[in-house]
Structure 1
Amino acid sequence: MKFVPMSPQALARRLARWIDHLDGRRLRVGFDGFAEAGSTALAEQVAVELTALQRPSVVVSTDWWWRPAALRLEYGRQDQESRLSGWVDTGSLTREVVDPLGPAGSGRHLTKLRDAGSDRAIRQAYQQAPSNSVLLLAGEMLLGHGFAFDAVVRLGVSAGAVRRALPEVRHWELAAFDTYRELHWLGPEKPGNLVVLSYDHPATPAVHGLDLR
């Protein structure tokens, strides 16, 4: 897999241009990556560039869509299976965000559901997205939830970089990240709209699969 280095600013611009040229009016793009690498920050940078292209977008982070702690930690605080696919409230996120912002959706959506820190629901008014809006959904282990993405940006972070970024108290999560990488790493032979980033160092990213013409 060949990666082309570029600046963070150029990456955001080119990703926005690539997204804007994808087929479809309402699009759903996943930014799948380790939280500490900055998947949400990258989605927000791309949203700024989409605005410059006169393309509206909605940035949503799965950090605001965790299940209540009683359900999330039902099998213990260090359960690998739960960490892999059971922390995010997939049903609510699909119902309130992914489906409404899809091609046949109403555009009526929420961006936040729950504050994981306080474990309390957030009272947020529904928002209305234009008919040509793009959903930029950022989060960890996105591809295991069955979300109907039109395209995916994978923030590739090595196991070593993940270990260095996590405090020791969270090293139990490393096995879940390794399992996800084995199950869902998509190589260039896979069909669909996929861009893969080499993102160990977000200040000096490299990209594979992005049309650079």
Structure 2
Amino acid sequence: MRVRPISADLLVAELSERVASTLPGEWVRVAVDGADVAEPGALADALVGPLRELGRDVLRVSARDFLRPDSLRYEFGRHDPDAFYDDWLDSGGLLREVLAPLDPGGTGKVLPSLWDSARDRATRARYVDVPAGAVLLLDGALLLGRWLPFDVTVHLSVSAAALARRTSREDAWTLPAFERYEQEADPLRTADVVVKMDDPRRPALIVDPG
């Protein structure tokens, strides 16, 4: 594996310029994928301002607002790693309400959130009209390998040892799902950009996964 150390600020600058130069005049759907400990939401948030400075409107969406209801997520118990991998994310809802409307020739009408998992009820969010040329920044875990139509994918990679060390005891049951993700989705090779995030304070671009 070959890596290039990079500062957090330079990472944001390079990613922003890459995204802003993608398909001018059309929507750009960006996935920032990673386990919670890699802080994909923080990186997605950090990209908003620079992208706007580069002339792009931005819509921020989080996959955590497209989880399935408790009755479906917990059908096999609250700590089933296979259910966490396969059944927690409402991929169909995310595709229907967010990604497909931003296909070339799409309506541009997006529902930014669907389900409040804390209250286990619909968010009742309103649809928003996303202007042409805008960037969708979607953060979440286990996003790749689901045939979701992203234009740019960024994977925040955490080694198995670092993930086990940094994951809280109450969430340790999810670790087999991330191990399965590495094997089945192979994000190191399928993502457009891979950032090593064993320590979020010291990111590094993986330029060759080996």
- What is the DSSP-based 3-state SS (H/G/I as helix, E as strand, rest coil) of the residue aligned with 2:105? coil
Which range moves more in the overlay, 92-101 or 21-30?
21-30
Asked whether 1:98 is paired with 2:92, we answer no
- What is the DSSP-based 3-state SS (H/G/I as helix, E as strand, rest coil) of the residue aligned with 1:169? helix
The 5 Å alignment of 1:78-97 reads 78-97=79-98
Asked whether 1:6 is paired with 2:14, we answer no
Are the equivalent residues in 2 in contact too, given 1:30–1:142 (CA < 8 A)? yes
The 5 Å alignment of 1:89-128 reads 89-128=90-129
Deviation string, structure 1 residues 16-73 (Cα, Å, up to 9, x no partner): 1011122352111111101222101101111211001011121111111110000111
Show structure 2 runs of 5+ residues with no match: none
- Partner in structure 1 of residue 195 of structure 2: 197
* Deviation at residue 139 of structure 1 after TM alignment: 0.5
Equivalent AA in structure 1 for residue 65 of structure 2: W
Are the equivalent residues in 2 in contact too, given 1:27–1:102 (CA < 8 A)? no
The 5 Å alignment of 1:19-58 reads 19-23=19-23, 25-58=26-59
Aligned length: 207
- In structure 2, distance between residues paired with 1:13 and 1:54: 14
Percent identity, aligned pairs only? Answer: 36
* Deviation at residue 187 of structure 1 after TM alignment: 4.5
- Partner in structure 2 of residue 66 of structure 1: 67
Equivalent AA in structure 2 for residue 21 of structure 1: S
- In structure 1, distance between residues paired with 2:46 and 2:88: 26
Which range moves more in the overlay, 99-108 or 194-203?
99-108
- In structure 1, distance between residues paired with 2:13 and 2:149: 24
TM-score, normalised on structure 1?
0.91
- In structure 1, distance between residues paired with 2:88 and 2:188: 26
Are the equivalent residues in 2 in contact too, given 1:196–1:208 (CA < 8 A)? yes
Deviation string, structure 1 residues 100-123 (Cα, Å, up to 9, x no partner): 122222111121111211112111
- In structure 2, distance between residues paired with 1:165 and 1:145: 26
Are the equivalent residues in 1 in contact too, given 2:79–2:173 (CA < 8 A)? yes
- In structure 1, distance between residues paired with 2:39 and 2:103: 25
Deviation string, structure 1 residues 132-159 (Cα, Å, up to 9, x no partner): 0111111100013221111210100111
Equivalent AA in structure 2 for residue 39 of structure 1: P
- What is the DSSP-based 3-state SS (H/G/I as helix, E as strand, rest coil) of the residue aligned with 1:144? coil
- In structure 2, distance between residues paired with 1:80 and 1:167: 15
Are the equivalent residues in 2 in contact too, given 1:85–1:145 (CA < 8 A)? no
